[in-house]
Amino acid sequence: MTTVLIVDDSRLARDMVSGVIKSLQPEWTVVAATGGDDALTKVAEQTPNLAILDYNMPGMDGLTLAEKLREAHLMLPIAILTANVQDALRRRAEDLGCWFLTKPVTADKIRDLFQKTGVAS
C-alpha cells in the first residue's frame, strides 16, 4: 500500500492536496500532519512512500523538516510545497534532493510529481 504524507499548517491546503491524491489514486493512504513535530511523530509510526511538505509553516519550516526526515530516511522522495517560488528557495530544495511543487496544487502537478519521484508508474 502506497502512503503519502502531507504536512501543512493549513487545513484547506491539506484537504486540497489530499483530495487531488485521492482523485488520482483512490486506493492510496494519505497521512496528514499539521506541522514538523506532528510529521516526525507520524513518520516514526509509519514510513511514507512520498512526503509533501509545506515550506512556510510556524515553528519548523519545510526545508528544516526535510533535513530531519532525510537523516532517518535517506531515499524518501520529498516535495516542498510553496507559493514562494523564489529561485534561491528552489535551489535550497534541490540541494536537499527535494522536488519543488507550487501552490495551488492541481491534478497535473501531482501526477507529474508521482511520475518524477517514481511512486506511480
Partner 1 sequence: MTASLDISEDDSDSIAELFNIGMGPPAAALSDLVGEPVELSVPSLRLVKRLSVAEELAVDSDSPVIAVREAFHGPFAGEAMLVFSQAAGLAMVQRLIPGELPADERDEALRDTLGEVGNIILDGCVASFSNMIRQEVEGGVPECSVGALDEVLAGRDETVMFVHIDARLSSGAANLQVLFFLDVAALDAFRLAIRHALAGLAG
> Which residues here bind partner 1, judged by CB under 8 A?
9-13, 56-58, 82-89, 102-104, 106
Q: How far is the CB of 7 from partner 1 (least distance, A)?
A: 14
Q: How far is the CB of 90 from partner 1 (least distance, A)?
A: 9
Q: Which is nearer to partner 1, 49 or 103 (CB)?
A: 103
Q: How far is the CB of 85 from partner 1 (least distance, A)?
A: 5
Cis omega (within 30 of 0) on the bond before 104? Answer: yes
- What is the distance of C-alpha 120 from the center of its chain? 15
Residue with cell 508521482: 114
Q: Where are the beta strands (DSSP E) in the chain?
A: 3-7, 29-33, 50-54, 78-82, 99-102
Q: Which is nearer to partner 1, 104 or 118 (CB)?
A: 104
Handedness of CA 108, 100, 63, 121 (dihedral sign): positive
Q: Which is nearer to partner 1, 72 or 107 (CB)?
A: 107
